[in-house]
Amino acid sequence: MENNQEILSADSLYHVYESKAEDGNVVALRGLHMSVKSGEAVAVVGPSGSGKSTLLKCLGGLMKPSAGSVSLTGRNMTRLTGAELVELRRKTVSFIFQEGNLLPNMSALDNVAQPLRHQGVSPREAKRRAGELLIDLGLESRMHGLPAMLSGGEQQRVAIARALITNPKLILADEPTGSLDPITSREVLALFKRLHEEENVSFLLVTHSSEVADFCDRALELRDGRFIAQHGEGFEVAELAESRELLIDEMGMVSLPPDILLEMGGPGRWVVDEVAERRLVLESAEDEVISVFDKSRRILSSDCPACKYEYDDTNVQSCPECGATRPLVKA
C-alpha cells in the first residue's frame, strides 16, 4: 500500500456503556473523527477515563461502537459479518492491550506462535519464528514459562511479540511500555521504530510516556470522549500546552481545553469579532463571561435559600438552622 492512503479511519464514533447501576450510562466517546495514514505513527494522549482504551477497542473492531463507523484499509468494519471481520483483522492489525493479552494455559512461546498457527503456518515453523522474536525481546530464558510465572514486564514483551509475529500493517497498542523498565522500554521502542521506518508499519499508541509520544508523528489529545487538540511532530508530552492545535470537526464543534478556556476568561457569551478564511477572532461580551474559575467574583449568599435564615458575616458553609448548603451568588 502506498503512503498517504488511509489505513484506519473513524467517522462520528460514539460509545455509551450502558449500566443499570446508580451511576447510569457512561458516554465514553462523543463523536470522534480521525484517521491514520499508511506508515504513520499516531499517539493518543489524555487523562485516565478520557476514553483512550474504549477508542482503541472500537477502532480494532473488538467492540462495536454505539454509533459511527470505522474503516480498516478502506473497508467499513461495522458492515462486515463476523467471519469477514476476523479475516480482515487477522491480515491487517495487531493489538497490545493494557492487560489480558495472553492465553493463561499456554507457554510464552506457544502464545507467540499461536497467531501464525491460525494463518496455517506449520507448528515447527511457527515455533521457530516465535522463538526468534522472543530472543530479540530479551526473553530467551523465559520462553517456556506460563504467563502467570512471568513478571508484568515480561508478559508485556510476550504480548508485544504476539502482536508483531504476523507482520501486521497496523499496530494498535494501549500503553505498550507501561509496565516496562526504561531500558526494556527503549528496546521495544527501537523495534517499533525499525518496523515503522523500514517496513512502513502504522501505529496508533495510547501513551503517557514522552519517549513513546516522541516516536510518533503526531498526537491526538482526548478528554471526556472528545478530541480537544492535535499536536505536531517532535512534541513532548510535558509541553502539550504549548504546541497545541485545536480541532474543529465537520459539525463546527470545537472543544477548548480547560486551561485555554481559563486563560480566555471562562465560558459565557463570545462575540465574533472577525471571521475570515483561516481566521477567527472572538471577543468576550463584557460581563457575560461566567466566571467558574475566579471564585472572587462570587460571594457566599447572605441568606439561606431554604429557610431564609440570615447569615451574618461569617464564612459558615451550611445553614445553622436547616443544614442547607450556603450557595455562592454573584457579587
- Binding-site ranges for Mg ion (CB under 5 A): 52-53
CB atoms within 10 A of CB 311: 15
For residue 121, what is its C-alpha cell? 503456518
The verdict on 207 binding ligand ATP (CB under 6 A) reads no
Q: How far is the CB of 128 from ligand ATP (least distance, A)?
A: 36
Chain-centre distance for alpha carbon 79: 24
The DSSP secondary structure of 231-270, one letter per residue, reads E-TT--GGGTTTSEEE-B-TT--B---HHHHHHHT-SEEE
CB 247, CB 229: distance < 8 Å: yes
Nearer to ligand ATP, 32 or 195 (CB): 32
Can you tell me whether residue 83 is helix, strand or coil? helix
Nearer to ligand ATP, 27 or 80 (CB): 27
Q: Where does this chain touch ligand ATP (CB under 6 A) — which range of 48-56, 238-246, 259-267, 301-309?
A: 48-56
The alpha-helical segments, DSSP class H, found in 93-181 are 108-118, 123-136, 152-164
Exactly one of 9, 38, 50, 166 binds ligand ATP (CB under 6 A); that residue is 50
Q: Where does this chain touch ligand ATP (CB under 6 A) — which range of 42-50, 136-144, 248-256, 317-325?
A: 42-50
d(CA 42, CA 204): 5
Exactly one of 52, 142, 157, 169 binds ligand ATP (CB under 6 A); that residue is 52
Which among 2, 170, 36 is positioned nearest to 96, based on CA atoms?
170
The verdict on 53 binding ligand ATP (CB under 6 A) reads yes
Q: What are phi and psi of 309, to 5 degrees?
A: -55, 135
For residue 116, what is its C-alpha cell? 501464525
35 touches, from Mg ion, ligand ATP, none (C-beta below 5 to 8 Å by class): none
Q: How far is the CB of 169 from Mg ion (least distance, A)?
A: 24
Query: Which residues, 12 to 31, sit near ligand ATP by CB under 6 A?
Result: 17, 19, 26, 28
Which among 225, 226, 205 is positioned nearest to 215, based on CA atoms?
205
**Position 167, amino acid:** N
Beta-bridge mates of residue 51 = none
Nearer to ligand ATP, 51 or 176 (CB): 51
Exactly one of 48, 81, 296, 315 binds ligand ATP (CB under 6 A); that residue is 48
CB 218, CB 233: distance < 8 Å: yes
Q: Where does this chain touch ligand ATP (CB under 6 A) — which range of 45-53, 63-71, 104-112, 316-324?
A: 45-53
Exactly one of 13, 32, 39, 54 binds ligand ATP (CB under 6 A); that residue is 54
Q: Where does this chain touch ligand ATP (CB under 6 A) — which range of 51-59, 196-204, 242-250, 309-317?
A: 51-59
**Binding positions for ligand ATP, rule: CB under 6 A:** 17, 19, 26, 28, 46, 48-54
